[in-house]
Amino acid sequence: MASTDFVSSDLTPELVAVRNEIRSYAEGFGLDFFDVIFEMVDHEQINSLASLGGFPVRYPHWRFGMDYDQLSKGYTWGLQKIYEMVINTNPSYAYLMKSNNLVDQKMVIAHVYGHVDFFKNNYWFSKTNRKMLDSMANHAVKIRNYMDRYGQDKVENFIDHCLAIETLIDPHLPFSTPKKREPLYPNTEAKVEEPGRIKSDRSYMDQYINPPEFILEQKKRMEQDARKSKKNPPEPQKDILAFLLDHAPLEEWEHDVLSIVRDEAYYFAPQAQTKIMNEGWASYWHSKIMTQKALKDSEVIDFADHHAGTMAMSPGRINPYKVGIELFRDIEERWDRGKFGKEYQDCDHMVTKAKWDQKLGLGRQKIFEVRRVCNDITFIDEYLTEEFVERFQLYTYAFNRRTNQYEIADRDFKKVKEKLLFQLTNLGQPFIYLTDGNFQNKGELLLWHKHQGLDLDVRWSRETMRSLTEIWKRPINVESEVDGQKKLFSYQNNEFSEKFL
Amino acid sequence: MIYNIKRDHARFRSIVKGKIKQDLKKYVTHGEMIGRKGKDRVTIPLPQIDIPHFRFGDREQGGVGQGEGKQGDPVGPGEPQPGEGKVGDQPGQHLLEVDLTLQELAEILGEQLELPKIEPRGHKTLKSKKERYTGIANQGPSSLRHFKRTFRETLRRQISSGIYDPDHPVIIPIRRDMRYRSWKTDVRHENNAVIIYMMDVSGSMGDEQKEIVRTEAFWIDTWLRSQYKGIETRYIIHDATAREVDEDTFFKTRESGGTLISSAYKLCEKIIETDYPPSDWNIYPFHFSDGDNWSGEDTRLCLDILDKTLLQVCNVFCYGQVESRYGSGQFFKDLKEHFGNEHDSVILSKIENKEGILQSIKEFLGKGK
């Protein structure tokens, strides 16, 4: 592994030596990564790359320009600085800031090897396209051609509509077996079965045992049932983009654009699903490699300063780097000392619990297992402990309408965990399903918001529905709940309406 | 290798401008840009440019945080994390703020209100100097070395002195051959203009009225600045007497007492006489009042000053009357009676409320004077 030495474009000999050194440490610790190609970039380039999601070639779109505007402003004002970026491809590409000093570069290189190990080995990345660099470039060429042919405004507008619904995918879909596609308006007549008859040997008795009126009635009822059950989609469908690709009246280029947006959304989904773990894992390893191997005496202060800056927590949100790294360390310690299982759980003597040590030494093995199988949800669900929440002073906060501000709501372990999991579930976005592709038999779409305690933002929903009508070309309906009341939002002919159900 | 982000950036900027143009009335009415004005740019909050998604209401959500504090303690908004970014990491949700130069803002205003370009009058007397590296010198720092000219000079010397060998064309410059870039000073003549704002600050002008004047002055300033290179502004406030003040005082002062408009006009006259010879300057007096003058006699005096001097020297004289609960608005009627509807160099405009600002700006600047 990593024996083929990619000659990077412009790594200085000094950095090449550093890279080789860090790589051998990383391999020594058992990290297993794709080849990594490091590129040196200046702040201008890294801001460009960051606004393009790390990819050097993307299709033209104004939102990349918007992100760039914000990033370069933040850089100019000294508010933010991107140290490092890495793309999940094989080989992986990582960017180093030219202006970073050597100890930063060391730390970043170690961090990058952590990320790439995660990309390569975590289950949730097992289905991603590792040639995405090429795919993105192809997408760019296609969309630029469409723009040349149909006009930039028209194509860009359509991209806007597609991006509005890019969250309506099912990140678990790549891991399930493909289902057969259903036609939109199924032929209900074809499959109707004959109603059952009671058998009799005597044919003259048949009209008494199976009276013709009754049989006719049964047949009608079965036809009706069949029609009812032949809804499309047969079950609520989460990947609404796929449904639209199959059934929306799109022109060829529109179809292509929508499928490009869907591809890219699926590519980025696992990164959002594993943010805490991914950053935690990379931070765990940069910290381990630096403090145990790579750091020189003169570099300690700088390293400590920058490491602490990355790990800093703020009141209004949790820092995935911090929570991630500490959870991995916590798991390692618990499995080293055997602080898990029934015996430990049932122990209610605090001192014994604190001193618990069975000298198992399973920690390292355990965290490698965790990085292979978990995503953020299972990571938090399985390994967040009451002691951890207490030690790191985690709390939940909520908006207080009376004082018009966010306030600390609770420090209870269960509440904190519940809230964290809720924020991670479906990437913190509402569950929206497509329940009927032919609502009221008028070719309208019916979406269903699976209400789990939080209402939709109505203004944003309205705008999103407007984009959906541009794609479906027919009215859109969303079933949801507002303040505990079931409601139906409708969008048709540029008008938004809502009514109680 | 990196795809040129500048194109996307330019695209974004043009969308932003389109958006501001579309909502110009809202921005003008709310006057929120003024507080965000820097030296030559404004910061504009844009609420509705992001791509919509299905999402939860902001207030609903809450979250998990970390640190000291007990139940009920307020939590500040989360800071963006420093340090490493991650691929696909979206910038946090926040109100988008964009910078526009005042020039761009003026363009938007001009396009939206269909304002004509102003035809300056007077001589181009304001001299502005600009240094440009167009000349050549025999001496200079080697950073300004002009390679081509040095080469040519050497070639010329070598040919004329017979050293040059076409079969072995080696060019060796000596000190005498060296040529350097040097600057020439360009003198440009530009039009210059002065805006003289006058405002009635008598008791009947309330905060709302002043806010209107302030907003209107901001936009007039922005437009005229885009039309003239060198522009000066002067501020006069008056009740029964007039005095010249700085910009800050102009918008904040509130006096009580009577109103003698003529006092302001006299001061204006004096300022022009001492500082701005009309042959060299484009002069724009703007007067804002609620239209209550002390007496008919004073009004006659005002008309007299206008007729005899001010109108002779100004490009255009603008009077904006802000509606107030107390003002009678008589002055507007008097001016209208005297000058009629279509006077060449007098523009009258009534501003009923904030909604009327845009229309009033159009009236003032729509003549292209």
ipTM comes to 0.80
CA gap A181, A244 in Å, rounded: 12
| Domain end call among B187, B202, B221 | B187
Contacting residues of A for B70, CB less than 8 Å apart? 408
CA gap B337, B314 in Å, rounded: 20
CA gap B33, B101 in Å, rounded: 12
Judged against a pLDDT cut of 70, whether residue A188 lies above it is answered with: no
Q: Is A484 on the interface with B (CB under 8 A)?
A: no
pLDDT of residue B14: 86
pLDDT of residue A284: 96
pLDDT in tens, A78-110: 777 787 899 999 999 999 988 888 999 999 999
Per-residue pLDDT of chain B (369 residues; tens, 9 = 90+): 455 788 888 888 888 888 888 778 777 777 666 656 666 777 777 766 778 888 887 666 678 888 777 787 877 644 333 333 332 233 334 467 778 888 888 888 888 888 877 776 655 556 667 778 888 888 888 888 999 999 999 999 999 998 888 888 888 999 899 999 988 877 776 777 888 999 888 777 777 888 888 888 888 888 888 888 778 888 998 888 888 888 888 877 766 677 788 888 889 988 888 888 887 788 889 998 888 777 878 888 888 888 888 888 888 888 888 887 766 778 888 888 888 777 777 888 888 888 888 888 888 888 776
pLDDT of residue A185: 62
* DSSP at A41: E
CA gap A301, B139 in Å, rounded: 50
Same domain membership, residue B237 and residue B101 = no
Q: Do A460 and B55 touch (CB under 8 A)?
A: yes
Contacting residues of B for A60, CB less than 8 Å apart? 7-8, 11
Q: Is A15 helix (H, G, I), strand (E, B) or coil?
A: helix
Contacting residues of A for B91, CB less than 8 Å apart? 67, 70-71
Q: Does residue B259 sit within a domain?
A: yes
* Greater model confidence, A148 or A404: A148
Give the chain B residue whose CA is nearest to the CA of A268.
B88
Domain ranges in chain A?
Answer: 13-122, 132-182+235-272, 312-424, 430-500
Q: Do B54 and A168 touch (CB under 8 A)?
A: yes
- Across the A:B interface, residue pairs with CB atoms under 8 Å apart total 244
CA gap A431, A450 in Å, rounded: 5
- CB within 8 A of A102, min separation 6: which ones? A14, A18, A299
pLDDT of residue B309: 82
Name the burial class of residue B192, with classes exposed (0-12), middle (13-18) and buried (19+) by CB atoms within 10 angstroms of its CB: buried
Same domain membership, residue B245 and residue B208 = yes
Gyration radius from chain B CA atoms: 30
Q: Is A83 on the interface with B (CB under 8 A)?
A: yes
Cα of A198 to nearest chain B Cα, Å? 54
Give me the CATH number covering residue B214.
3.40.50.410
- The closest CB to that of A317, out of B63, B74, B89, belongs to B63
Same domain membership, residue B293 and residue B158 = no
- Under the banding of pLDDT at 50, 70 and 90, the label for residue A134 is very high
- Under the banding of pLDDT at 50, 70 and 90, the label for residue A381 is very high
Cα angle A107, A112, A115; round to 5: 130
Contacting residues of A for B9, CB less than 8 Å apart? 65, 68-69
Q: Do A457 and B76 touch (CB under 8 A)?
A: no
Q: Do B66 and A272 touch (CB under 8 A)?
A: no
Helices (H) and strands (E) in chain A, counts: 20, 10
Contacting residues of B for A421, CB less than 8 Å apart? none
Same domain membership, residue B227 and residue B145 = no
| Category of B153 on φ-ψ map: left (φ > 0), alpha (ψ -120 to 50) or beta | alpha
Q: Do A420 and B9 touch (CB under 8 A)?
A: no
Q: Do B72 and A408 touch (CB under 8 A)?
A: yes
Q: Do B66 and A45 touch (CB under 8 A)?
A: no
Write out the residue range of the structural domain in which residue B329 sits: 191-365
pLDDT of residue B336: 83
Same domain membership, residue B182 and residue B221 = no
Count of the separate structural domains present in chain B = 3
- The closest CB to that of A393, out of B66, B71, B87, belongs to B66
CA gap A255, B257 in Å, rounded: 72
Q: Do A83 and B85 touch (CB under 8 A)?
A: yes
Q: Do A407 and B74 touch (CB under 8 A)?
A: yes
- Under the banding of pLDDT at 50, 70 and 90, the label for residue A304 is very high
* Greater model confidence, A391 or A210: A391
Same domain membership, residue B176 and residue B198 = no
| Domain end call among B143, B165, B187 | B187
Same domain membership, residue B294 and residue B351 = yes
Residue of B204, B173, B215 lying closest to B359 (CA atoms):
B215
Q: Token pair of A242, please?
A: 């796929």
Same domain membership, residue B146 and residue B227 = no
- The closest CB to that of B52, out of A41, A164, A411, belongs to A164
Same domain membership, residue B151 and residue B104 = no
CA distances from B194 to B199, B247, B262 (A): 16, 14, 20
Q: Do A271 and B74 touch (CB under 8 A)?
A: no
Answer whether A41's CB lies under 8 Å from A49's CB. yes
Q: Does residue B72 sit within a domain?
A: no
- The closest CB to that of A423, out of B8, B10, B64, belongs to B64
- The mean pLDDT value for A234-257 works out to 92
Query: What DSSP line would sit under B183-225, residue for residue?
Result: EEEEEEEE-EEEEEEEEE-STT--HHHHHHHHHHHHHHHHHHH
Strand ordering across the sheet containing A444-450? A431-439, A444-450, A476-482, A485-492, A495-500
Same domain membership, residue B254 and residue B312 = yes
| Domain end call among B172, B187, B202 | B187
State the average pLDDT for chain A. Answer: 87
Same domain membership, residue B157 and residue B221 = no
Judged against a pLDDT cut of 70, whether residue A193 lies above it is answered with: no
Judged against a pLDDT cut of 70, whether residue A28 lies above it is answered with: yes
Judged against a pLDDT cut of 90, whether residue A148 lies above it is answered with: yes
Same domain membership, residue B99 and residue B151 = no
Q: Do A392 and B66 touch (CB under 8 A)?
A: yes
